[in-house]
A = this chain, B = another copy of it.
Amino acid sequence: MIPTPTVLLTAEQVEQIHQASLEILAQVGVKVHNAKARKLFAAHGCSVESESNGVKFPPSMVEDLIQAIPPTVTLHGRDPQYDRTLPDDGPLFSTGSSAPNVIDRETGRERRSLSVDIAQIAYLINELPGYDVFTIATTADDAPAGQFTLSRVYPALRHCLKPIIVSAPDLDEAPALVRFGGLVAGSEAAYRQRPFITFASSPLISPLTLDDEGTETYIWLVEQQMPCFPVSAPIAGLTAPVSLLGALAVCNAEFLTMGVLTQAVRRGAPLIYAVTPAVVDMRTGAFASGAIESGMFMMGCAQMARYYHVPSAGWIGQTNAKVNDAQSGFETGMLSLAAMLAGTDLLATGGLLDALMAFDFGKAVTDNEIAQMLKRLKRGYAPGASELALDVIAAVGPGGAYIDTDHTWERMKTTLLIPEVADRDNRHAWQEKGALDAHTRTMQQAQTILEDAHPPVFSPELDEQIRKTFPGIVAGQLSE
């Protein structure tokens, strides 16, 4: 394993960010549009200004409550073999989330994504070994009223046994999701023991604002002991200072706000330091999630998370490219690598183009390989005298060959990743095979996986029960 994470901040600067965040919370405060949250904050010693809904936080109270956040978080899969605990099992790799669109596999054109796309993506992610978690990558445009989240979770769980993350539902729909989990698990008690749907919540509106409905739902989910973590999405230059230290101070103040709220609702409730960090493109005002500074922002967040002993997650490596091209490759590869080396525990990176606007099947396959490269790097140099191989070096001698030694044959599969996307043929062999670029090859790989699909479907009885319990629910099928 890599001995220590990469740091961008000195220990002194980490302390400075912490103190600055406390100062922001004490003197600038947070605007809290939800009454229940204001009441909770007040009960814990915050001052609440009734006219502006401004809440100010005593530093000692913040420091006390955030110490109650547990240092680990477990994400459950429907199949327990896929359970993963942060940070110990990290880095975990996941899809990015909630793109409204998909690049159609047949036409290559962007269109609104449907529940059937989610079924296909879920199965693909289930089969790709680089992914640990399926964060539901798109919305479902065919969701019936009141079933916006159910229409995403049903096709996802029906085709993927790995842990599922989905954006938190409306409060109206939230109880239905617990009921749904209970049906799938066999009983609500069984589901509550191993809740395999984790919610990513967005009560935060940068800078320093909690909305009404999202906050209400968040509180309900924490009360219900449903796994849930809020995501902060500040944009340096728009909703946070353009300077990275200033942006991190705002972002960290937002994390502390949610830490306080979470522990005020239920002391000891788990939390993840989760961020979609970005900077603005000053020429156009665009959300530059693929910018190197977005990666640097994430690296700072990972360092702060470690300071608080809280697992970290980042929607990171989200390229601005519109196609799975060189830009997509270097933005996703560089930003996710930077985040991983800085110690980010969960990387919600895979599959999306155009700053989280569209899912692309070829990109998801490409990112599966990036994930495996990140994990290989994280494993580091294998230690030990037999790895140093002094006897082998002596036996081979100057000018000798290592290819046919036992040492090589024993270690080649554990030392070297065998890539499926990266082509290592010489040009002639590559031409003989059709001179295909990486995107074309990954689309073929996706096609092969989806054609061969023997999806881990629900039993007909379970499907029937789900459709009876939730009338009008989407089909949840892999294909029509």
What residues of chain A have their CB less than 8 Å away from a CB belonging to chain B? 2-4, 6-10, 13, 16-17, 20, 23-24, 27-31, 54, 110, 205, 207-209, 236-246, 248-250, 279-286, 288, 290-293, 295-296, 300, 320-334, 337-338, 341, 354-355, 357-358, 363, 366, 369-370, 373, 376-377, 380-384, 386-390, 392-394, 396-403, 405, 407-408, 411-413, 415-419, 421-427, 430, 435, 437-439, 442
Copies in the complex: 2
Which residues of the other chain, B, contact A387 by a CB distance below 8 angstroms? 243-246
A293 touches B238 (CB 8 A): no
- Which B residue's beta carbon lies closest to that of A210? B398
12 contacts between A and B (CB under 8 A): A8-B381, A20-B390, A207-B398, A237-B403, A241-B392, A244-B387, A249-B390, A250-B393, A286-B425, A290-B422, A292-B376, A322-B425
Cα of A249 to Cα of B392 in the assembled complex, Å: 12
**Smallest beta-carbon distance A47→chain B, Å:** 14
- Which B residue's beta carbon lies closest to that of A331? B422
B292 touches A245 (CB 8 A): no
- Which B residue's beta carbon lies closest to that of A363? B326
B330 touches A382 (CB 8 A): no
Cα of A212 to Cα of B326 in the assembled complex, Å: 42
A282 touches B412 (CB 8 A): yes
A423 touches B393 (CB 8 A): no
A28 touches B422 (CB 8 A): no
**Smallest beta-carbon distance A86→chain B, Å:** 21
Cα of A22 to Cα of B32 in the assembled complex, Å: 65
- Which B residue's beta carbon lies closest to that of A286? B424
B29 touches A398 (CB 8 A): yes
User: Given A10-B3, A28-B398, A333-B334, are A411 and B243 also a contact pair (CB < 8 Å)?
Assistant: yes
B332 touches A330 (CB 8 A): yes
B295 touches A377 (CB 8 A): yes
Which residues of the other chain, B, contact A380 by a CB distance below 8 angstroms? 8, 296
Checking B16, B358, B408, B421 against A327 with a beta-carbon cut-off of 8 angstroms, the contacting residue is B421
B393 touches A28 (CB 8 A): yes
B333 touches A330 (CB 8 A): yes
Which residues of the other chain, B, contact A110 by a CB distance below 8 angstroms? 427
Cα of A293 to Cα of B338 in the assembled complex, Å: 16
A238 touches B390 (CB 8 A): no
B246 touches A392 (CB 8 A): yes
Cα of A296 to Cα of B376 in the assembled complex, Å: 9
Cα of A345 to Cα of B3 in the assembled complex, Å: 21
A393 touches B2 (CB 8 A): no
B381 touches A245 (CB 8 A): yes
Cα of A416 to Cα of B282 in the assembled complex, Å: 8
A241 touches B322 (CB 8 A): no
- Extra inter-chain contacts (6) besides given A207-B399, A242-B408, A244-B381, CB under 8 Å: A245-B381, A282-B418, A283-B418, A326-B437, A330-B369, A354-B427
B357 touches A427 (CB 8 A): yes
Checking B249, B357, B381, B408 against A389 with a beta-carbon cut-off of 8 angstroms, the contacting residue is B249
A416 touches B242 (CB 8 A): yes
Which residues of the other chain, B, contact A384 by a CB distance below 8 angstroms? 245
Cα of A383 to Cα of B244 in the assembled complex, Å: 9
B399 touches A209 (CB 8 A): yes
Which residues of the other chain, B, contact A421 by a CB distance below 8 angstroms? 326-327
